[in-house]
């Protein structure tokens, strides 16, 4: 490797970094076989992942930003005895000139928002990684050695992003993890470590060892019931402490372990159903506390599939509907609760709240559409002479099947009750209203709205 132009800075790419380069490749006889410069398109790859020839993984790992180097690659570090037909023959020694433009760590977030960046300083052993429930040992910024269960890091003052990164590590791996505030200690900071609010964090972590937790398919029915009872108690304790995220992790285990299990005896099947129902109801409650209403609805619905008249399931689903302003659905759930459990005072209170919200919503709709209709009617009056020749007569508008998808959905019954489907009595509209329809949907007259005198 010969450095033609020195780079800047002190850092070089690490294993797993996304690197971006320009390159040109030649055979020993000077024949150029490839060039990103000719294509005017930089080339990116993940370092140390086997995406390029061995020589590149070795050489680029030593480079700095802006560096240009020339490397000579023996066949065993290039394309070997196979070559890369038709341009590279077998057992060819290759020459590359590479310029490094940038490198960045691996983004571990689902949304790739840059909130958790990992850079591997020392690659780990094997391919196994710790799963949820595994016990791990790692070193954090305060230099303590720690053994903890994945999913319980907050109890040991570990930010959630660090736990997520550790789950991607291999045994003996050393990594640098960069966390944005939303994956660190957030707006609260961490007084114990004198970390201010909204601070970016950097951790250097070594995963010394881990013991994988048993997967669902590795447990027999007896183990599943036993472990479900244990984690249910653990989840309940977290809930009492206000640690709703940790509680959800425990309840999710129960739901996943028991959801598709069919090998229970009759007695054990009843226990399993009871545990799963409790887990789903508790998950719904946790998600309500966390304002994750769609997840609360999902778990309530699953619970009600097991017990359609469950009081907590109906009530919590009603709460979730109410939180997202689905007042009609919320009212139906609270009415069902009171039908089955008339003494439920909380449901009575919530039902009254729903009815009040529905009334307020109807009033807002009436005002909104009344104002809109008046403005459009004022404009429509200018063309009403051509639309309705006899202003003193009552006009009928026939709304056919085609019209129901065009105009009817815009006009709530609380605002314009005379607009009905064709299987209902024909609506009577005054001249202004008829003119309004003709003015708003002029292209639909021949197909959907017919003027009947």
Q: Supply 116's token pair.
A: 């958790």
pLDDT score recorded for residue 447: 38
291 and 185 inside one domain: no
Which residue, 103, 125, 140, sits at the end of a domain? 103
225 and 310 inside one domain: yes
Work out the average pLDDT over 290-313.
97
Before 86, cis peptide (omega within 30)? yes
**CATH number of the CATH domain containing 315:** 1.25.40.10
Task: Judge whether 398 lies within some domain.
Answer: no
Which of 33, 43, 101, 369 is catalytic? The answer is: 33
The rounded distance, in Å, linking the Cα atoms of 374 and 327 is 28
Which of 15, 71, 96, 254 is catalytic? The answer is: 96
Label residue 439 by pLDDT band (50, 70, 90).
Answer: very low
Does residue 96 have an active-site annotation?
yes
169 and 133 inside one domain: yes
Domain extent at residue 156:
116-211
Per-residue pLDDT at 453 exceeds 80: no
Which of 23, 210, 239, 244 is catalytic? The answer is: 23
163 and 258 inside one domain: no
Does residue 293 have an active-site annotation?
no
147 and 48 inside one domain: no
pLDDT score recorded for residue 74: 97
pLDDT score recorded for residue 390: 46
Task: Judge whether 368 lies within some domain.
Answer: no
What is the rounded average pLDDT for all residues in the chain?
Answer: 82
Task: Judge whether 390 lies within some domain.
Answer: no
Does residue 23 have an active-site annotation?
yes
Which of 15, 53, 98, 166 is catalytic? The answer is: 53
63 and 141 inside one domain: no
pLDDT score recorded for residue 361: 87
Per-residue pLDDT at 218 exceeds 60: yes
Q: Exposed/middle/buried for 349, CB within 10 Å: 0-12, 13-18, 19+?
A: exposed
Task: Judge whether 150 lies within some domain.
Answer: yes
Which of 15, 17, 57, 79 is catalytic? The answer is: 79
Per-residue pLDDT at 415 exceeds 60: no
Does residue 79 have an active-site annotation?
yes
Which residue, 69, 103, 137, sits at the end of a domain? 103
Task: Judge whether 350 lies within some domain.
Answer: yes
pLDDT score recorded for residue 232: 96
The rounded distance, in Å, linking the Cα atoms of 266 and 237 is 30
Distance of CA 226 to the CA centre of its chain: 32
Non-local (6+) Cβ contacts of 7 within 8 A are: 63, 64, 65, 66, 67, 100
Percent of the chain predicted with pLDDT > 70 = 79
Domain count, the chain: 3
Which residue, 179, 211, 243, sits at the end of a domain? 211
339 and 262 inside one domain: yes
19 and 40 inside one domain: yes
Does residue 33 have an active-site annotation?
yes
Task: Judge whether 179 lies within some domain.
Answer: yes
**CATH number of the CATH domain containing 62:** 3.10.50.40
Which of 15, 17, 29, 34 is catalytic? The answer is: 34
Task: Judge whether 178 lies within some domain.
Answer: yes
Task: Judge whether 422 lies within some domain.
Answer: no
Does residue 141 have an active-site annotation?
no
Work out the average pLDDT over 352-378.
82
pLDDT score recorded for residue 76: 97
């Amino acid at each position: 490797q010969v450095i033609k132009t020195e780079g800047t800075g002190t850092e070089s790419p690490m294993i797993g970094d996304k690197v971006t380069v320009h390159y040109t490749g030649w055979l020993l006889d000077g024949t150029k076989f490839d060039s990103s410069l000719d294509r005017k398109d930089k080339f990116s790859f993940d370092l140390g992942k086997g995406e390029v020839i061995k020589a590149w993984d070795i050489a680029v790992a030593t480079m700095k930003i802006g560096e240009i180097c020339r490397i000579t690659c023996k066949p065993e570090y290039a394309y070997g005895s196979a070559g890369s037909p038709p341009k590279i023959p077998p057992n060819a020694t290759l020459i590359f000139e590479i310029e490094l433009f940038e490198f960045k760590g691996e983004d571990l977030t689902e949304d790739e928002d840059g909130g958790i960046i990992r850079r591997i300083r020392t690659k780990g052993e094997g391919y196994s990684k710790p799963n949820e429930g595994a016990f791990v040992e790692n070193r954090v910024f305060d230099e303590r050695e720690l053994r903890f269960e994945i999913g319980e890091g907050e109890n040991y003052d570990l930010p959630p992003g660090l736990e997520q990164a550790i789950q991607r590590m291999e045994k003996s791996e050393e990594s640098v993890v960069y966390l944005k505030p939303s994956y660190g200690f957030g707006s609260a900071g961490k007084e114990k470590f004198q970390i201010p609010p909204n601070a970016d964090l950097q951790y250097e972590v070594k995963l010394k060892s881990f013991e994988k937790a048993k997967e669902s398919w590795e447990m027999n029915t007896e183990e599943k019931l036993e472990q479900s009872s244990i984690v249910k108690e653990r989840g309940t304790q977290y809930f009492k402490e206000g640690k709703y995220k940790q509680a959800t992790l425990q309840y999710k285990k129960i739901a996943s372990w028991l959801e598709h299990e069919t090998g229970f005896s009759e007695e054990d099947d009843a226990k399993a159903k009871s545990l799963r129902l409790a887990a789903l109801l508790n998950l719904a409650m946790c998600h309500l506390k966390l304002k994750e209403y769609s997840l609360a609805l999902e778990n309530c619905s699953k619970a009600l599939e097991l017990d359609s008249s469950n009081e907590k399931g109906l009530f919590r689903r009603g709460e979730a509907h109410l939180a997202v302003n689905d007042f009609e659905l919320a009212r139906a759930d609270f009415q069902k609760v009171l039908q089955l459990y008339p003494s439920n005072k909380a449901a009575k209170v919530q039902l009254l709240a729903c009815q009040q919200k529905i009334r307020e919503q109807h009033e807002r709709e009436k005002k909104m559409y009344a104002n809109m209709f008046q403005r459009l009617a004022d404009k429509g009056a200018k063309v009403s002479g051509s639309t309705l020749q006899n202003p003193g007569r009552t006009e009928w508008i026939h709304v056919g099947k085609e019209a129901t998808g065009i105009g009817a959905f815009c006009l709530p019954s609380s605002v314009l009750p005379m607009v009905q489907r064709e299987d209902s009595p024909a609506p009577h509209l005054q001249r202004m209203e008829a003119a309004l329809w003709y003015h708003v949907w002029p292209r639909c007259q021949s197909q959907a709205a017919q003027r009947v005198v």
